[in-house]
Amino acid sequence: SQTIHQWPATLVQPVGSPLSLECTVEGTSNPNLYWYRQAAGRGLQLLFYSVGIGQISSEVPQNLSASRPQDRQFILSSKKLLLSDSGFYLCACQRGGGTETQYFGPGTRLLVL
């Protein structure tokens, strides 16, 4: 079964600094990959998804970007962090669309000060 790794687990960054969160997947090939932000009382907000290497779809225009340099690697980035970027970021993978289950990583808690 799929295993999703995310690092770092926790990150404290100053406003205006860059960001790079990494997600890697084991146990499957050519997965669909997702970045979500989870906020208390607001559920999971889909930020980006990717159906293949170099293919990124953005759901919410904002200060973040994503890249997929390899089949099982998904990176969330920012050039300059804002206070509002603080949150809990989850990476997920899915073998196909539709009825397939999404598998989630442990998440990264980001605090921007």
Partner 1 sequence: AQSVSQHNHHVILSEAASLELGCNYSYGGTVNLFWYVQYPGQHLQLLLKYFSGDPLVKGIKGFEAEFIKSKFSFNLRKPSVQWSDTAEYFCALETGGFKTIFGAGTRLFVKA
Instruction: Choose which of 11, 13, 22, 46 interacts with partner 1 (CB under 8 A).
Output: 46
Helix (H, G, I), strand (E, B) or coil at 103: strand
Residue 41 contacts partner 1 per CB under 8 A: yes
Instruction: Choose which of 7, 27, 30, 59 interacts with partner 1 (CB under 8 A).
Output: 59
Residue 104 Cβ vs partner 1, minimum distance, rounded to whole Å: 4
Instruction: Choose which of 22, 51, 58, 73 interacts with partner 1 (CB under 8 A).
Output: 51
Rounded Cα gap, residues 54 and 25, in angstroms = 16
Neighbours of 80 (CB within 10 A): 11
Helix (H, G, I), strand (E, B) or coil at 19: strand
Ramachandran class of 41: left when φ > 0, alpha when ψ lies in -120 to 50, beta otherwise? left
Residues that bind partner 1 (CB under 8 A): 32, 34, 36, 41-44, 46, 49, 51, 57, 59, 90, 92, 94, 97-99, 101-107
